[in-house]
Structure formats: structure tokens, C-alpha cells
Structure 1
């Protein structure tokens, strides 16, 4: 692609990122003589009408947004079999790269970044758009510490006819999806708030709250498991931030902050209450990968109850935090495979053998008793 001119106007300079669905190139707009980012749909998907529609939808959805904390889309085009969109070029790095380099961030830095994400989300929500894939990889930071949301590829309008997904399909990156996303349910604005809560958790600890060997295991943890106490990972996390994280990560979307504006107000209040010289110990950047299965996290939770922190919702149980993970384990739930592998129903994630026994043990005991009585009665009838 290097040197290629798309639309006779956008000269490709170099590849700067990408994944299985698209690649992003730095390019020069020859007409305006400025750098732009060009997102090109992967060649392997250029014949897939669903992905072409999704790609076109992303461009149209983002093009209607105009906000300093949202990456601007300038144009969309097609040249032969190449589908592309032209976006604002952000000179800097992703929030994920910052966390990987430094580990946990200071409280005020976390809050300042989160507030900017809130502003970008508020603008999207005001335009009826739910992002559905908020994660540090999709937050780009400039050299002036301005942060912008990008990649609205799986966003949707808050209109039933506007979504390309079907009921029971899960969209989003598994480490950041909300419980309702993990169940394949319809999402609303608080779903983005949950994902923002995961991002905030990762910023203050340098780690993700949940990990596992399989997408399904991680998704189940979002549905079932309490959030590990961030202060057990980084004891310098202020209580004000911890409370915000817990509320943003409520399992029930109705118990979360209901808007990006609401969580922003909580963050502003926390920033006012937390001294700028608040004691802070940065975690080291995480290098090793450790997979934690759902069952083992339950065991860790049981072992940690004797010394858990007595803060926040009374009686709320919190497990021992998962160990460091690497970005390689942060899997994307792609729609082609979800209907077969990661669609979760209540019966699938609740009917474990122990829970089945707990539910039916009384019936089984009664049945055994009746059988014993019948056998004894039959014996006496035959002997008579």
C-alpha cells in the first residue's frame, strides 16, 4: 500500500496499526497538504457484505460527530475492491500503550483522562450513538495530553432498526464488555459506562479485573464475579476513585451511572477532594501473562474473605485480584463466531453441578426415602 494514492488524493505513507478487520495507515492529503489516517477494510473482508455495511456505518456514524474528544472522520471512499475511510491523524499513542509502559497512573492523571473520555462519550450519546467497544486501545492521546475516542466500528444508534447485530450475539472486546453485552442482550448508554469503569480500573491498577483461558470464561466473570478490590493491587488508590469504579461496574445497568455526564460529575468531585500530592505508588508495567479460570477466581475469593477491605457496599464480597495479563490475551468477540461460542443464557452460566445439587437435593432425598419404604414393604408382603 505504501505510495498508493487512494481517490487520487490520499497518498499512503506507512502502516501504523490494525487488526483482523482493518488496517490503519498514515497518509498525506495532497489537496489540503496535511497528514490524515486512512482506515482500510481488510482484503479478506472486501467481499463480505456484512462487514462492508458495518465499515460504511462506522464512517457515517462518526462523521456526524464533531468534538475535541472524538477522532473526526473526513471522508469515505472505495477504489476497486479497497474500502477506506479518511480520519483525523492523531500524533501520539493509545492509552493502552501508556498503561503498558508505565503501569498504573496517578489518581489525578486517571481522572483527567477519564473526564475527557466522558466528554467524548457524552457527545456520542447525545447524538444517539452507543460505542460498545470502549477500551484503552480505542483511546488515542496526543502530545498535549488530549484524549480522543476512536473506532466506532461496532457502535449502534439507539434505534432498533439501526443495528446490524442480532439478539444473542455479543459485540465488543471481551475484557471490557458489560454483563448485558456478554449475555447478548440489547445495550444502552450504561453499557459504555461499564466499559469506561474497566478502563478506569486498569488505569489505577495497571491490570484488568478479569482474565481467563477462553472468551466464555472471561465473559462469565463479567456476569457473575465481584470486581476485585483495586486497593489490594495498588493500596494508594483513593477511596473516592474506588467508589466510582464500583458504581460504574455494577452488574445491574440500572445501578450504574446512567450517563457519561453523571460519572463525569463524580470524577470532578473526586478530583476536588483528592490532594494533588496524594501518596502514589506506580505499578510496574505488566509483562507476564497469567490466565485465571472462573473456578479459580471463586476459590481466590473464598480465601480472601478474612482480610478483605471493609469499604463500599456492606456485605459485598470481593475476590483476590487476578494476576497481570498481557495485551495478547485481550480477545475481541467477533460476530462471525459469537452465535456458536459466546452467546450466554441464564441456564448456561448458572447451572453448575453444585448448584443443580443444591436445588434438587431435597427432592432426591425424598425420592430415595420413598424407594426404601417401597422396598421394605415389598419384602414384608413377599415373606407373608
Structure 2
């Protein structure tokens, strides 16, 4: 080792014989070396001495390098050893003959779309492996993607960048500063960073590979940071003519300012890029693989966030206003609209015609009242973000918000599965019972009259002055008068199948049916004319299956049973638009300017009726029934025995879930009360709330 602390060819360090310098950077020097124990060539990186003065940092470095070494994936650069020798921290990894992606792009100017997509897909797969182990990379960039001569990509420096970055938040010699071309907005603001920051960076890499430039390159570092925070994703076409148009939607989603609007996983981004390039079919469902500190809304790592102003790291907690548990791992999750080809929504124009539409870009307004700390011509990513009008940040903390209070529990008979409120009474159906149960919603007492409908009542809805009952056992629709609770007319025969849902509106009563005893029977949605009491037109075949339906905003909304899809069917034209929601969707309702879908993955998908953008809201375990009323959305969490309230204006959970009883299922809301059926308790619960 020479006087400058650098190793020379022939030196032996920690069992490695030095062959020469392979590269240099702010983190230290990389040597080409031979590991003497196995006689193999490796890349040996020595961390810059200026970064290792903190004893706790040294311990964390060794511990987390071992975590990174545990990643076993074909696109993750293997870490062979790590430790401390002669006062220097080091780690060794596979030596890759070839260039990094940065060098490749510089040489090629732009990569062919198919090639760029293939590389990004490999990196996305590597990130999925890291996120599934709770590791966030935080410095995904072309220089950290090593390429072999056959375009095999390796992502390197896993688990190391956060500790090195936080130890060198200033701009002293040898210190680390942010890679401005690929940094996510939340990282700039000093907020909690999870897997979605890596997804943003991967989107920047895709843009760079396709166009030859980073998406927000500006004349100054300050302007680049401002662009990341405020400017919409730039179009690809003007910079790279000939790139398939479907890449525009991929980039727009990957670079969304709100992390919740990005892809659910880096692997999903990679697959979408391959689909845009025509190398693969677009996936119809997505997934979240991140766990622990890498998961959206998961447990914060003590050093994930930078303390405002000083660049040091400190513990943090999720925003208390969210009021929701962490998202489950390995579950489908698409936060925004997804195309089944590219990333726009797929529409079917009447019979057989299909067109693809591009999603509208939302206008992003960022109140960046932060202070950018600049030094040595580069921007350190440690500055104060002013949190305006955030009551949780005020002295004394926020006032406790109560979602609602359990007011009554009323026995109704075995396993109540469907509810509707009409004529001042709660109508309760149980598939195994021959009669409905009625409850006065003012007194919470059962009403003596109990309409006899026969077994098999699968679903209820009220409209056109009547209560409509869909029966799967007889495949019929029954109409009962609201006032006297007596049947009107003869049962209406439905198309073949098993009725599972009924909804009123848009000039008709709509019934969704699954395949019946014969597997070849289609899953359909049929419209019944309430005046003529007959089926109007042909039943609409649903290739994604039928789980539940709702009607509103000039459309029928169908929750798919076979795929995580909600299909919007225009009632005037029969045009269809398919939207990807959360994993295993269950129930659907409309209200407050949105469509609300409960997903078995522990979330609710909010579909904006104007933009059709989708937001995912974590709730309890295996949510089922969902209803809107009096300025609130209520969802039943079947495994938790609770009901969660959501503010429809903010899309955030209100207060803590309300404990209601065993296996809550259906939900109905009227006035300031939410009624929830309890399958395990053979009862219904009433929760009072203040709008």
C-alpha cells in the first residue's frame, strides 16, 4: 500500500492479491484482484477512509453487506466476502468482464427498444429479489448495472448505498452525493423511502436507455431537483422517434410523483417495458413483493429518513393520518390504470373492435418550500421540506379521530350474506334461509313481517320503488314492494348460470351470473326492464368472470372473478374498458365521485370517475362488503372482525378500525349508521358515526 492508502499490483489485502485498479468513485476504489483461497478473479472494493470514522457505521456496514450477500439471483452481483482489514472496510464481489450500462449508453447513444426493455426487465427482477428481502437499493443507476458481452445485466451495490450515503451526507472530499438523474421526489424531500423509489429510478434508466438522456436533465443541479419534484414525465417521441408509443405510458407511470401511482413492483415495470417493445404479453395482474422496510407503509428502518437540515439519519414513523396497516407482501397491486396492451386502458368498441387509449397525465403541483443545500457544485439530498397544514406536526399532536362506535348487535339467523336498506328497514338475506329478516333502522328491532323468498337469496338491491332479490338456486329475480314487503309479479327467469349479484340504475336492474353446473356456460351480466319485468337485449358475456357488479355514472361496473379486473361497460354503447385493481377483488360500490372495490389482498381500490386513475388504500385483512353513504366509505374486514372507515375526499383511513364481531361480510350505510352482517355471529352490527 502506498503513501496515499492505495493498493499496488502484487499487494495482498485480506486474502486477495491485487492485479490492478478497475475503477474509482466517491465510495472508494475498486480493484481487480484474485481471491487466494479459491484462485478466482474478483472485484475488491475498499471503502473511502473518510466514510468509516463512525464505529456504529462500521458495524452496520459489515452486517448489511452480509444481508446483501444473502441475495441469490441471476441478476444480482454476488458478494463473496466483506469485513475490515488494517482499518479499512472492504467487500469482494464477482468480477464482470464488460461495461456498465452507463458506458454502453454513452457508446451507443440510444439502445433499441427491445434491448432497453430486456435490460430493464433483468434489473427489475433483481430489485424484486432485494425488495422481497426488505432491502431498498436507493441508488439504482446505469453505473450500478454491469453488462456482460451477451447483455446479461447485474445490479450491484445492494444494501450498501444507504449506509454510505447517510455517513457522507455532506460534500467533503470522497463523500457521496445524490445521483440527481435518478432520484425519486420523496427521496429529495427527505421522506420515507421504500421500494417505490427504486421503481422510479428504474423508470429513469429506461428513459435514459431509450433516449440517451436522463428525463430531467437541466442546466443546474437545482433545476434538476426542481424538475424531479414538479415537472411531468417528458415524452419520448421528440427525443427518440421510432420508439413504440406504448413506452410513453410505461414511463409516465414509472415516474409518477406520488409513489402510490407507480408500478406495484420493479418486476411489473420490467414486464410492462417488454410488452411495450412487443417482446411479451402485458400482464393482467400485478403484485407487491416488498416486505419490511422496503414495503409501502411498512416498518420504517431507523435510517430511512434524513433529519431535516443536518443530513444525519433518524428514526421515523409512518404518517399517522394514514391510519392503516402495512400492505401484505406478494399480492397484486396496481396503483393506477393499466393497459392490457402497453399501459393505456383497453377499450372494446361494441362487438369486436378494440382501441387503446393513453392515460391523461395529471397536473402535478408540488409545494416545495424546501431549502436545497448546495456545495461544491452538487446538490446534497438533505433539505427541509415544509409540511404545510399538517396537524400531526403541530405542538401537542393531532386530536384523536374516532371512525365510529358499535351501537347495537341484532340477531337475524344463520349466516346473513346480503343487506340493503329500503323503506326505513334493513333487509337481510341468508342463502340457507327461506325468509328475509327486516330490522327497523330507527329502533334496531326486528320487524315481525318476514318475506318468504325460498333458499338461495344471493344478493339484494333497492331501486324503482322495490327490493330486488337475485337467487342463484333457481336462477330467478324476485321483486318485493318496499312498503308491504310483498312479492310483485312472477319470478323473472335469468340467463343460464348462478346469480351472484344485483344492482339497480341506468334504467334497469342488472344481474351478474357465474357459470352454473355446466362449465361451458358463460359468465354474464343481464339487464332487466323493471317495468316489463323481462330481460332487455342480450346478456353481456364477461370473459374475466363475475364476482360483483355496481351501476352508476352511465355504466355497469363488473368485478372480475378470474382476473383482478374491473370492467366498465357503457350502458349506451356497450363499449368496455378494463381496469386493473388490487389482488382478488371482492365487492364494488359507487359514490362520492369514485368507484370503490374491496380486494382480498387487504386493500380498497378507489377509481376516480373522471380520470379512471386508481389509488390503493390499505385496510384490514380480507375485506369483503363495501358501501358509501353520508360522506364515508365503510368496508368489512372479514378476518379481523372489524370495519374500516375511509374518507372519500382524501382517500385515507379515518381513525382505528371498529370491532364489530365475527366474520363481517356485507355492508349497508344510511344516515350516520353503517350496518354490517356477521356470518360467524348470525347477526348484524350497527356502527354509528359522525359524518
Does residue 148 of structure 1 match 2:148?
no
Equivalent of 2:239 in 233, 236, 239: 233
Separation in structure 2 between the aligned mates of residue 25 and residue 106 of structure 1, nearest angstrom: 32
Q: Is the partner of 1:105 in helix, strand or coil?
A: coil
Q: CA deviation at 1:40?
A: 0.1
Give the aligned partner of residue 187 of structure 1.
193
Equivalent of 2:19 in 1, 8, 13: 13
Q: Is the partner of 1:14 in helix, strand or coil?
A: strand
> Equivalences for 1:40-55 in 2 at 5 Å?
40-49=46-55, 52-53=58-59, 55=61
Higher helix share: 1
Maintained 8 Å contact 1:58/1:155: no
Separation in structure 1 between the aligned mates of residue 55 and residue 26 of structure 2, nearest angstrom: 16
> Equivalences for 1:184-263 in 2 at 5 Å?
184-263=190-269
Maintained 8 Å contact 2:33/2:41: yes
Separation in structure 2 between the aligned mates of residue 46 and residue 243 of structure 1, nearest angstrom: 43
Higher strand share: 2
Aligned length: 286
Separation in structure 2 between the aligned mates of residue 346 and residue 224 of structure 1, nearest angstrom: 16
Maintained 8 Å contact 2:252/2:361: no
Does residue 345 of structure 1 match 2:386?
yes
TM-align CA RMSD:
2.9
Cα separation, partners in 2 of 1:149 and 1:29, compared to 1, 3 Å = same
Cα separation, partners in 2 of 1:94 and 1:204, compared to 1, 3 Å = same
Give the aligned partner of residue 38 of structure 2.
32
Q: CA deviation at 1:101?
A: 0.7
Separation in structure 1 between the aligned mates of residue 56 and residue 180 of structure 2, nearest angstrom: 21
Equivalent of 1:69 in 54, 61, 75: 75
Equivalent of 1:266 in 272, 284, 300: 272
Q: CA deviation at 1:313?
A: 3.2
Equivalent of 2:104 in 85, 89, 98: 98
Does residue 131 of structure 1 match 2:137?
yes
Maintained 8 Å contact 2:46/2:88: yes
Q: Deviations over 1:256-309 (max 9, x none)?
A: 1011232233233223369xxxxxxxxxxxxxxxxxxxxxxxxxxxxxxxxxxx
Unaligned runs of 5+ in 2: 1-6, 168-175, 281-356, 365-376, 389-691
Q: CA deviation at 1:89?
A: 0.9
Give the aligned partner of residue 23 of structure 1.
29
Q: Is the partner of 1:231 in helix, strand or coil?
A: coil
Give the aligned partner of residue 11 of structure 2.
4
Q: CA deviation at 1:112?
A: 0.7
Cα separation, partners in 2 of 1:228 and 1:40, compared to 1, 3 Å = same
Maintained 8 Å contact 1:94/1:136: yes
Cα separation, partners in 2 of 1:50 and 1:92, compared to 1, 3 Å = farther
Unaligned runs of 5+ in 1: 157-162, 275-310, 319-330, 348-384
Maintained 8 Å contact 2:102/2:142: yes
Q: Is the partner of 2:238 in helix, strand or coil?
A: helix
Q: CA deviation at 1:113?
A: 0.4
Q: CA deviation at 1:44?
A: 3.1
Structure 1 segments, 4+ long, off by >6 Å, are none
Q: CA deviation at 1:46?
A: 3.9
Separation in structure 2 between the aligned mates of residue 104 and residue 210 of structure 1, nearest angstrom: 17
Q: CA deviation at 1:51?
A: 5.0
Separation in structure 2 between the aligned mates of residue 223 and residue 35 of structure 1, nearest angstrom: 43
Q: Which has the higher contact order (CA 8 A, sep 6+)?
A: 1
Does residue 83 of structure 1 match 2:124?
no
Q: CA deviation at 1:213?
A: 4.9
Q: Is the partner of 1:137 in helix, strand or coil?
A: helix
Q: Deviations over 1:73-129 (max 9, x none)?
A: 111122212221111111111000000111110010011101100110111111111
Cα separation, partners in 2 of 1:128 and 1:14, compared to 1, 3 Å = same
Q: Is the partner of 2:237 in helix, strand or coil?
A: helix
> Equivalences for 1:272-291 in 2 at 5 Å?
272=278
Separation in structure 1 between the aligned mates of residue 271 and residue 72 of structure 2, nearest angstrom: 22
Separation in structure 1 between the aligned mates of residue 118 and residue 253 of structure 2, nearest angstrom: 18
Q: Is the partner of 2:223 in helix, strand or coil?
A: helix
Maintained 8 Å contact 1:107/1:237: yes
Q: Is the partner of 2:81 in helix, strand or coil?
A: strand
Q: Deviations over 1:24-45 (max 9, x none)?
A: 1110011211100111011333
Q: Is the partner of 2:277 in helix, strand or coil?
A: helix
User: TM-score, normalised on structure 1?
Assistant: 0.68
Higher Cα Rg, which structure: 2
Maintained 8 Å contact 1:171/1:181: no
Separation in structure 2 between the aligned mates of residue 102 and residue 110 of structure 1, nearest angstrom: 11
Q: Is the partner of 1:130 in helix, strand or coil?
A: coil
Give the aligned partner of residue 359 of structure 2.
313
